[in-house]
Structure 1
Amino acid sequence: MADTRVTFPQGSVQGTATVRQVVPLPDRRWGVICDRTPFHPLDHTWPDHPADLGVLAISGVPVPVTDCVIGAAPHDTGSLLLGDDIPVRRGAEDWDWHVVHVVTGDLDGVTPGDPVELAVDEERRRGLSAGHTACELVTLAINETFADSWRKPVPVDVRGRPDFDGAALTVSRIHPYGSRDDYRLGKSLRKKGFVTNDLAVRLPERAEQITTLMTGWVEADLPVWVDAPVEELTARRTWNCALPDGTVTVPCGGTHVTSTGQLGTVTVTLDLDAEGSALSMTTALTAAGRTATP
């Protein structure tokens, strides 16, 4: 069975498709695989961007989608595995890769070949897309803000700034109209040359600098887009933003807004733990009357 084709990189929230497989799951749930879908699934290998939710209408009967995950089946057995149970890297050869729409209800009469209408929860998609775009930008902003905190040369990000985010990030989580990034400021980071001595004192100043950078990018209303050369789920996709000092491009499998102006008001806060070994950055948006909802 060929890989699921996905249309979410282009911003699609609706589509028509054909049911390929219906898989029984625990707790009276079902996994529905279609030939194509606008739904963005949770990527178990880097679960920063939550799954799209919405509705499938199978043969005209609406069924709520309560989760959406990646499934994979090896060619030799064809047995479908979901999420963390997949033992290989996404895109591994000799495996088929699918978007699995998790639904509840009675699907006993649904069979491969049945037509299906797919509709993503648009408000949730807007919020997550805004949160993800802001998350991509704020990691560039923290790198620039902390550029003077290094006493040794280190790898740089796509803008040529010392890559604090790449060196220290432990967890990133996106939610509607916001995100949270957690960083470890341990011995290994200090050995690489990151100076933490004055970090606690300068934390409010640093947060203000990051917020100012983000606000400038939002006010400039810069184009944002996702490049997806083909529709297969496992295809390499990139996020792009035309920043004033040059277009940046980074690998990314999520959904995004189409311009920075859609992010609205940005507030960035930094919090350091009592030991000074863990830093968290929270980004909150007020976009089109909506606010961050962790």
Structure 2
Amino acid sequence: MHEITETRISYHRGETAAEARIEAVLAAGSGRWAVVTDATPFHPVDAAWPDQPGDHGNLTVGDQVIPVVDTQIVTFRPADGAVSIGPEVTARRGDTEHVFAVAHLIVKHPDESWVGRTAQLTVDDHRRRWLSAAHTGCHLVAYAFNEATDELWSKETSRDSRGSRNFDAAALIDSRHDLGSSVDRYRLGKSLRRKGFDHARMLAGLDTYLARANDLLASWVAADAPVHLTGSSDSFTAERVWRCEISPVATMPCGGTHVSSLGQLRSIEIRAEYLESEKEMHLVAASQPR
């Protein structure tokens, strides 16, 4: 294994192909191996907040084309050589004792001679487009529902980047994306009521609030607003900001992948499910790419 360096990424620019040098080949359990490269267009699932699944695609070394079945984060601790992959990763970005890299998981037993060689990396573009649509749609759903329910707050609280009081930040407990869809889970308990949000009134008029949010989403998609993902560098751990040019502008920290404009979406529509026993509401969004 060569020294593992922090991966340079290009998926934040929408790229789906790159050439890179193989730095390590690691056993990853369950009959899988992790191929670590110095650069990649593949987006990995984040162990700390696994909202967007890892990319799939192909890794080509010489005349061998090997399917990549998942993409995960790997950390390397130079002090003792400790390596963690995927769910084993406990270090957080900014931890100077660890190097963060991207691992391409394969099921074909690798050749150790790959280390140091050049590989061609190609992401499954169809899958990426559907995941990007889901991730962009998920962000916009949060802003639309914040605006639609702003009147339900009796106390001042944090506001989102567009100025609406932030129900999403106050109540969100989990977010997951799939191909063209997302599910956000919100806790509607006593702590939210103490913060000043009238969730009983929201549930009583839920169809109205969903209709308001869906009207906003439809208007934003029709306006074909540009979407940007910016960062200070191409280093994997560099902070990145998602920005959508709706009015007012929406911005939030994000390390996922996205469409480049809302015109690349056919629609974003949400529905809600309320789990009385769990005191949870789920917002389910369908975000269809063109």
TM-score for the superposition, normalised by structure 2: 0.95
Q: SS at the partner of 1:249?
A: strand
Structure 2 distance, partners of 1:71, 1:107, is 17
1:258 aligns with 2:260: yes
Q: How far off is 1:217 after superposition?
A: 0.3
Q: SS at the partner of 1:282?
A: strand
In the TM superposition, 1:136-151 aligns within 5 A as: 136-151=139-154
**Equivalent position to 1:56, from 52, 55, 59:** 59
Structure 2: state its 5+ residue gaps. none
Amino acid at match of 2:231: A
Q: How far off is 1:280 after superposition?
A: 0.8
Amino acid at match of 1:24: A
Structure 1 distance, partners of 2:288, 2:21, is 38
Structure 2 distance, partners of 1:278, 1:179, is 16
1:231 aligns with 2:234: yes
Matched with 1:292 is none
Structure 1 distance, partners of 2:96, 2:220, is 40
1:213 aligns with 2:216: yes
Q: SS at the partner of 2:209?
A: helix
Matched with 1:67 is 70
Q: SS at the partner of 1:264?
A: strand
In the TM superposition, 1:1-294 aligns within 5 A as: 1-245=4-248, 247-275=249-277, 277-288=279-290
Q: Does the 8 Å contact 2:133/2:288 carry over to 1?
A: no
Structure 1 distance, partners of 2:289, 2:70, is 25
Q: How far off is 1:106 after superposition?
A: 2.5
Q: Does the 8 Å contact 2:45/2:53 carry over to 1?
A: yes
Amino acid at match of 1:265: S
Q: How far off is 1:285 after superposition?
A: 2.5
Structure 2 distance, partners of 1:28, 1:195, is 50
Q: SS at the partner of 1:243?
A: coil
Q: Does the 8 Å contact 1:22/1:110 carry over to 2?
A: no
Amino acid at match of 2:48: T
Q: How far off is 1:113 after superposition?
A: 1.1
Superposed structure 1 runs of 4+ greater than 6 Å apart:
none
Q: How far off is 1:40 after superposition?
A: 0.1
Structure 1 distance, partners of 2:26, 2:18, is 21
Q: How far off is 1:207 after superposition?
A: 1.1
Q: How many residues align?
A: 287
Q: How far off is 1:109 after superposition?
A: 4.2
Structure 1: state its 5+ residue gaps. 289-294
Structure 1 distance, partners of 2:113, 2:67, is 15
Q: % of aligned pairs identical?
A: 36
